[in-house]
Structures are given as C-alpha cells and as structure tokens.
Structure 1
C-alpha cells in the first residue's frame, strides 16, 4: 500500500478524452460510417439507459404526487406519463439534432492518472496503519460461532475515525496541489460498455429464476395488486380492513413505485405480480448493474472492467445475511428500498462526481431528478440521502467549493425532505414500535459490512478506499463518505441519534450511503510496483476467492432464496398455489383466517380476499395492546396451531368482531379442526397433498 501516491503517467496526445460517463456520440449530419455510429451508440448505451431511466421515473413520481391534487386514477396518470416520456424523448432528439448536446471530439482512449504530489510518508503510514487496524478489529470483533468476541468496539471505532480524518487531510492536501483536469477518468469504450451491458442483461435473466420470500411484500406488492384490480391509490388501510381503518403512519403514500407497478398492470391487463416480477424487475436489474458500472468506471484509477467484475462477484457471492448488500439486489429489486441502495446510491455518487468535476448544468439537473427518484422509491431516502450528500458536501467545502456544495445539497435534498415534511404533517409523527430492534454500531457493521474475512475486506474498502480511488473528485468524495461513516460508527453516536429522532429501527441502513461494492471492486486497482496488470489480477482473484470461500452466494437456501428452472413469482410456489385455490372456493362474504404464511401471500394474489392478518409486523402501528391487534393475534395463533390458545369465548368474540366467515388450516392442525365446530363453523372444502388443507365456513 505504500505506493498509493505513485500512479502511472497518462499517454500524451492531441486527442482529448470525453467525460467518463458521457461517451462520444456522433454529431448529426457528420456522415460517419454506420459501424462508427454503432460503436458510439454502444459506448454511450450505459449512460443513455441509466440517465433515461432516472428522468422517466422522476417524471412518474412528480405526476403521481400531482395526481393527489387532481384526483386522477393511477391508469390515467400512467397514460399521461407515457405521453410525457415520448415528449421528453422527442425533445432530447431535437436537442441533439440542433447540435446542442455535448459531443466529444476525437477518438476514445484510455485515460489514466499522471504524476501527483506525494503524500507525506509519516502521515500516510499512520493512515494505512490505523485503517488496517480498524478493518481487522471490526471484522474480527464478532464472528458466527462467537470466537473473537471481547474486542471493545472503541478500538475499531477509534482507529477508523483516526484513519478517516487522516485520509481526508491527505486527500484534501493532494486536491489543492493538483491542477484541475489533471486526473481524467477512463473514457467509455464500445468494448467496455458492451461488457457492462452483457453482464447487466445476464444478471437480469438470472434474477428471473431466483425466488426470495419477503414478508414485506404483503404490503409493497399487495398495494400494487390493489391498484391493478381497483385503479385507485389506497389512502387508508388496505391490508387489514379494506379501507375502514386509517393508513399506517409508518407507511405514508409518498413512494410511487408500488403504484407504478399496479398502474402498469392495470393498463396492460396483467396481474400485478407478473408485471412486477417478469417485466419491470428485469429492466430495473439492468439499470442497477449499469449504475454500478458507471460508478466503478468513474472512480477507478485504472482497469475499470476488472474492478467492475469484482464488484459484481461480491454482490453474487456475498449474500446470506438478511442485511448484507447482496440480498438487496437481484432477488428483491422490486422493492423500492432495494432499488434505492442498488441503483440510486451509485448513480448519486456518479452525478455528484460529474458536477464537482465539470460544474455541468446537466449533472446538477440529474442530481435533482435522482433525488425525486429516491423519494418515489422509498421513505428510506429521507434518512440515507442526507447522510450521503452531507459527506460529499462537507468534503467539497473543505477545498473551498462552497457554492458548488450548497447547490448540490439543495438539488439533492429539497424534494425528499419536502415530501417527508408533507407526509408527517398529514399523517402525524411515526408511532413508536416497541418491538422494533435497534442496532448499535458494532451490530450495524456486522449486519451490513459483515464480519470475519469479509468484514476485514469491507473495512479495508471503507477506511483505505480514499487512498485508492481516482484522485481529485472521486478521492475527495470517497473520503467524505468514509468520514461520515466513521463518525456514525463511533461508539455512542447511533444511540444518540436514536434518542433524538426515534428512528433507530432504520439506522442500521446508514452504511448504504457508502458505495461498498464499487469500492471493494476498486481495491484490485491498487498499483503494485513492477506488477501492474498481473498484480491487479492477483488481487482480484484473491478477493473473488475470499467471496466464494467465506460468503454465502445469492442462490443459496441460506440466503432465503430458491432457484427454479423457469421464471417464477418471488415467493414459495406451494403457498401461491394454495392461495389461488382458496380464492376459487365458494366462500361467504367476510374475512378469511388461515396460517400466517398463507395470509402473508394472499395480498400478493388478490385484494378481493381479505384475511385476518396479512403481516403481524404492522400491527404495532395500530397499538399492539389494542383489540384491533389482540383479536388478530389470538386468531393467528389458532390458525398456526400454537398451543398457547386463548379461551374459546375470546376466540369466538374475536371472530365476531372481525367478521371471520371462513377458516382454512393445514389438515395437520388438529387443534383448529377440533375447535372450528365449537366456534360455529362447518367443513366445506379440502385440498390434498402437497399442502393439504381443510376449510370451514360459518354455519
């Protein structure tokens, strides 16, 4: 690592290189050969696809929010959105024909960094040493079997803060001593862009065969199913009471992604689950992978393709843990929060890099558009986005770029913060969930950046990444992100934030601000003396081998994923079959009681069959000790065959109050089968194995 201040000199020549994320485009009327135009289009494709997706979804989110004012149906909003996209596309083509779009002159070449001022060796050694100690102790503080417990968190927390502060000082010093434009990023080439496109398409195809069950889909996809079947946005509770109870104040109607799925399905007469998982999610997978490519290509000092390959391998091979970043990718990209961490975070770093590099008005507009996208994807954006942007803004202020930093901060934060304030004014403060878990810095690190060898690798990326990334803007932004992360991981900081804000249940997501997969990939680009490409290849091989040996792959059952021979809905297929069977029964009007796993699945199949408790985790929003929640929990225990059942009179009262008219239980649940007649129900339907069921209806 002592060579981090020794970087290869760029080849000289008269041909300027384009910005890394704005590949050369053929000027209109230039008469270029078709082959040259195709190569230019392929080189530009990752930029065109990702930027186009950002603008399109930002437009949808704005229209969705405006639709509240005019009372528009989702299908109407969707048709207006299609028209708006066509107008935007036509305007973009016209702009290019007028020659006002930036077109890079000259041939595409590989741009690498030239000589730069050397770091002071004593301080460099201090940062490298402190960062290494922080990474090793953080990764080995706790491992799966408990070995390694006992290292106080102040050791990695303290050394990490020291490394982050030292790296910021070094990077700032180099920035101020390096002329602007002296560290160009590698230009996009047709070959590298084609490789990224192929990887993105293959990733999207592979994701079709992965099924990862998530209880949160009862809400997220259940909302899409409601919109698809009824063509209306549910502004009151749609899970438990069919619009009778107020909406959960922890789930305001600010995100637009679920309504987009439902509106798309309604307009094209598709089932919302099929539209989401078979059509929209593969497109989102392509965008997410290309977003990762763009960030790696923008930040890597050299060998971006190799770094990108390592980053993709990390996502595929390091999953398993419920909060690991590999689980927030292909297997559940349909969830807005997952698309936020997989695509919005890397693209925000790309746009901020371009803005601070070039002060391009286009980049600032894309920053603002992406902040609208983040708002439309998840309420998590209102927490993570300020942390991400805050680290970048602070870093740029340290080098005197106050105006640019303030403009970027305003562009990135005005819309999500405004939407959050609006939702809180209308829905009230978030109800405190006493059952929600709070994770301190140590557990947050272990859940997201992981532990053991993988935790050490993640720590090296976190605390040494600023010294490895391409210098000037990328180094400065990585350093700002590292400093912000290190402050948050310092002992006691998360506890203080939790006590001040009451949002401890989501504070474990704050590492999402750091583009970990991209920086881990960039680790292999460190320039080893006399080894060059062979050294990078060796590091890349060692990293991928570590992922394979110590990680749990995305397709493993330990990652809660099943792999199928054909594209499937992302839920257990037997549960899906049983719920569809239940919908075809001759049931009386009213509410259905079934095992929890089936009630979690029911909203993803239809909004027309209301069940007792689609997701018990949302009951605290209505008061866990209230009759609303307790009646449901008593009946869920009955349907699940739990021994600690409430007395028959209490069960009968809950059935009456909730208007339960149908009970379907697994045939093996003898307790429920025996109690059903005592509760006034008669058997009327059975289903054979696998998944044998017995159903009763009110007599």
Structure 2
C-alpha cells in the first residue's frame, strides 16, 4: 500500500485524537499539560548533562567533585534552555485533558512508595552507590570484595552508567542515607515521570481516546506480576534501578520524539525533536548497558515514517543522533573495557524471550491482540485506525522487530553478538508493549471500540497478578520502607556494627543488604557469578570463599563441612549469619568459638567470634 494513501494527518485534525478532548491553547488544563511535559524533558536533559559530566570524571579529565558541583551549577541553565528550545516541538503535539494521567501518576507513585519487592541486582548496583556516597570517587572497579582494588566485573568495565554515581553523590552531599535516596525518594518521583512519559507518547502518536488507552496500559503494568521480567516488575516495582528507568521513561520519550520529528512543520520544531532524541540517547547510556542494543532498534523503528516519505536526510540525522551515543558506548565497552572477556552472568540458552517478559497467561494474549490491531491498522486504516498514520507504521516496525526476536535462530545470533544470551531477552524492550496495549483503547467505533477495550480490561483483571502479591515476591509496607527484606536488612545492620573490618559470611540476601548499609563491608562472597570472574586473580581465594558460601546457603556436603574450620581461619571470618535450620554448620561454628549475638526474623541468627 503506498504511503501517500495514509499520509500523516495535520496536527490540527481533531479526528487524529478523537475522544481525547481538545483543549483551549491558553486554558488552565493546557498550561498544566505543557508544564508537566517540559518538567519531564527537563529531567531528561538534566540527567543527560550529568551523564556527560560523569563520563568526563570517569575518563579522568576532571575530579568527581567538579563533575557533580559543575552539574549542580548548570541546573538552572539546562532548565531555561529546555523551556526555550524544546517548547516549539511540544506546541505541535496534541493537548488532551491532563486529569486522568495526573490521577494515574499519583496512584502509581503511591504504589511505588509502599510496594517492597527486593531484587538481588542491588548486590551490585546499590552497593556501588553506597561506596561512592562514602568515598566520592567514581573511578573505581570492584566495590563488593576489594574496596576498589580489583577491576570491575567484565561486562561492567568501564562502568559507563552514571545513575549509581548520581544517587551516591546526592546521598553524600545531603547526608541522607543511600537507602532513603534510592529506595524512598526516587521510586515515587520516577514512577510519576514514567506515567507522564507514556502519556506524552500516546499524545504524540495521536491515539484515539488516549485516556482509555492509558488506563488499559496501567492495568497491564500493575497486573504484571506473573513474570519477573514483566513491564510491571520493570516499572514501579523496581523504579530505583537504571535499566528500569530506561525502559519506563526513556524508551517512551524516544518514540515520542521520533513522532514529533515527522509531525514537525518548521525547522525549529524538527531541531527540537532531534535534540530530544539525542538527550534521550545520552541519558540511556547513563542508565544501562542495554542501551547499546535497544536504542538503535527504537530509533530504527521510529525512522520508518520518514523513510516512507523519502526524507532521507532527516532519517540519517535521526539515526546518527539517536543511535550514535549508544553505539559509541558499545564500542568503548568492547575495545577499552572488559566486555570482550565475557559476561558476568551465565547464559540462559533455550529460553523464549517473549515468554520471559509476558508469560503465557491472558496478559500475553492482550499483548498479542494489541500487535494484531497494529497490523490491522496498517492494512485496514479506515476501519482499524487507532492512531495517526505515522504512528501506525512505527508501531508496525516495532511489532516486526518483536517477531524477529521470536525467531530462535536470530535470537541465538543476537546472544552470540552480545557475548551472552542471558540479557538478549532485553531486545524485547524495543517493542513499546504498554503503548501498544493502549492502542486497544483507541479502536474506532463506539460499539467495536467498547467491546475491545472492555474485553482487554477484563482479560487483564482476570488473568493478571498484582505487583503487590506475595506470589510476586512482594509485600506492602509503610512509606519509607527500604526495598530490602526486613529480616536480612536487620541482620545486615547488626553485622555491620559488629564486623569491625572482619569478613562477614552470610546468605546472599543479607550480603546485598550489608553492602547498602556499610560501604566498606568485607563479605566472604556475594552472588556466585560476581565472585567467579575473579577465580584467576592471585590471592582472591575464590574456591575457599565459594565453599563457605555453599554452606551458609544451606549446603551439607561433608567435604565442605570438614574444610570449613580451615576456611574460616584462612579468610579471617569474624561474623557469620545463617538460617537456624543449618545444624551441621552451627556445630562447626560453635567449635570455632563463634557465639550467637543476634537472633532475628526469617529464622536468621548471627554469630560473632568470641573475644
């Protein structure tokens, strides 16, 4: 079908946003919308500026303190520049009533403040934040075992993400604990921003009935607890992690900026849209290594409307500005860093990426139905047009990318290129699944659209699992609670007070919490994949460490138990925390003169070496 047959509608065409409610340009609701749009873009620009400053410090060009305080001094400059430079492109985007997205933002921010869903990735990421908060230096390698004396993990060297350093410096200069900054303050604020970023995308795509679409997308997110890697668990349930901020905020803004580019009528609007794409790409590098392969895929899908119009100069500029920073980061990691030595996570051969992120229940069926509607919208534009033509082709390109990912041979090839298939499933992030689900709310026709929207909502309500469900490994706690299990956190605090520079042996969940509360903790081990990469390092004693970790995690191998006394002495272990049911290990520890000093919840006891 020729693209001219489905040419982009004018921004002033009210049918492009049917059912959304056009607002007076100078009305209060319009001003609220534009103010929040600019606030989100200002946050994006500020983080991109911080990432640039951080990379200078990481390269040794400036001290870390100069990077942070210089960035602070630039905050008002960046905010003013965003208001003056990016407002034109926002002016071309439709304005819909802000009250539904504001209510959804408040609701999800509130949920982010009370849902506690611990994640063991914090044993690496938040531990780094704690170390930087205490020491200030961002040019540090391993902060888990050696206090920066060993190189960093291969797949994290050089450590290009800047989010942990920013949170660490905020903690350092404010006096707030890292746990309060990362677990209490950030998630509600970032969750509200993520909801508004999705709202900006729905408006940029000129989705019919965008408020209905946003509500469907919200159901898809908050009822996404059935799989660990769902769009819900990688949203408000874990909004303190860089990769989650990237997926929930930056990816929607990238797609929105691409739509602004193709809808722009003036050169100034086009330049502003390209600027947002560039800022989003730089910010993505500062959030996660996954940006290296996700961002190019997003901008490639977002360039399809321009390619169909044969606007090759704009397409080339979009790809260069959008994919350039991410690809450059990949080159740096491959050439100058340790990525070429292999990943630090085990391969996950044979997994289905879409089953991993969607599961096999009704939410997966809803996502599949959204993909069908996208395809139908391009083949039958008059009957199934849920959004503007350019958005339909972008969505179709994203769906096509998702289909390619589902081909086993291509997925295996992607894992080979990336060095490990354990993170290849993140290629699914190229597909903006919540936005596609929102398109189900825009099917034209009162009866047809109502049936589709109600059916999708019913499927999600019946087949979804709330993020706060214990089956999702989550609990609901009072605002201000850290995103760590209460029992291990209490044990970690006791161990941090008692260790006095001695090594601590404990289950991984306790060790993860220990690294958050004590920047100079000396754990025997942590997650096995973190330690195993140092097996060839002289003096690392990795085999001895892993032996003790196996025992404290519940192992009962007689050979390990027989060697445990010597291992405890060799590693100078001063504090041991373990579950009460480990009778054989308790006997060994008592024989070494280690006395119980703490008894807490989760059946945890901690022992300290007798004076």
TM-score by length of 2: 0.88
Equivalent residue in structure 2 for 1:633, among 536, 541, 546: 546
> Structure 2 matches for 1:652-667, cutoff 5 A?
652-667=565-580
Look up the match of 1:590.
Answer: 502
Equivalent residue in structure 1 for 2:95, among 188, 198, 202: 188
In structure 1, distance between residues paired with 2:23 and 2:214: 18
8 A Cα contact 1:284 1:339, kept in partner:
yes
Q: CA deviation at 1:281?
A: 2.2
Unaligned 5+ segments in structure 2 are 378-384
Q: Greater shift after overlay, 384-393 or 289-298?
A: 384-393
Q: 1:365 to 1:24 in 2, by over 3 A?
A: farther
Q: 1:537 to 1:469 in 2, by over 3 A?
A: closer
Look up the match of 1:209.
Answer: 114
CA deviation map 1:57-81 (0-9, x unaligned) = 1011001111234565545432221
Q: CA deviation at 1:666?
A: 3.6
In structure 2, distance between residues paired with 1:330 and 1:423: 29
Q: Greater shift after overlay, 370-379 or 606-615?
A: 606-615
The 3-state SS of whatever aligns with 1:664 is strand
CA deviation map 1:352-391 (0-9, x unaligned) = 1111221610000110000001000000110211222223
In structure 2, distance between residues paired with 1:652 and 1:542: 62
Q: 1:658 to 1:416 in 2, by over 3 A?
A: farther
Look up the match of 1:65.
Answer: 55
8 A Cα contact 2:362 2:464, kept in partner:
no
8 A Cα contact 2:89 2:273, kept in partner:
no
Quick check: which has more Rg, 1 or 2? 1
Equivalent residue in structure 1 for 2:312, among 377, 402, 406: 402
> Structure 2 matches for 1:84-233, cutoff 5 A?
84-91=74-81, 95=84, 102=88, 187-189=94-96, 192-233=97-138
Q: CA deviation at 1:274?
A: 0.5
In structure 1, distance between residues paired with 2:579 and 2:355: 38
> Structure 2 matches for 1:340-419, cutoff 5 A?
340-358=246-264, 360-393=270-303, 396-419=306-329
Look up the match of 1:80.
Answer: 70
8 A Cα contact 1:444 1:508, kept in partner:
yes
Aligned structure 1 segments of 4 or more residues deviating by more than 6 angstroms: 9-14, 22-25, 624-627
CA deviation map 1:133-160 (0-9, x unaligned) = xxxxxxxxxxxxxxxxxxxxxxxxxxxx
Q: 1:25 to 1:221 in 2, by over 3 A?
A: farther
**Are residues 1:462 and 2:371 paired?**
yes
**Are residues 1:254 and 2:160 paired?**
yes
In structure 2, distance between residues paired with 1:310 and 1:297: 15
8 A Cα contact 2:547 2:560, kept in partner:
no
8 A Cα contact 1:42 1:194, kept in partner:
no
CA deviation map 1:648-676 (0-9, x unaligned) = 56334433443323323344432222112
**Are residues 1:41 and 2:27 paired?**
no
8 A Cα contact 1:317 1:326, kept in partner:
yes
CA deviation map 1:141-200 (0-9, x unaligned) = xxxxxxxxxxxxxxxxxxxxxxxxxxxxxxxxxxxxxxxxxxx97x214xx223212321
Q: CA deviation at 1:325?
A: 1.2
In structure 2, distance between residues paired with 1:473 and 1:6: 8
Unaligned 5+ segments in structure 1 are 27-35, 106-183
In structure 1, distance between residues paired with 2:471 and 2:483: 16
Q: 1:381 to 1:435 in 2, by over 3 A?
A: closer
In structure 2, distance between residues paired with 1:505 and 1:104: 38
In structure 2, distance between residues paired with 1:6 and 1:295: 20
> Structure 2 matches for 1:485-524, cutoff 5 A?
485-524=402-441
CA deviation map 1:468-516 (0-9, x unaligned) = 4423321121122122222232341112233344231111111111111
TM-score by length of 1: 0.78
In structure 1, distance between residues paired with 2:317 and 2:589: 65
Q: 1:275 to 1:74 in 2, by over 3 A?
A: farther
Q: What number of residue pairs does the alignment pair up?
A: 589
8 A Cα contact 2:405 2:428, kept in partner:
no
Q: Greater shift after overlay, 317-326 or 683-692?
A: 683-692
The 3-state SS of whatever aligns with 1:504 is coil
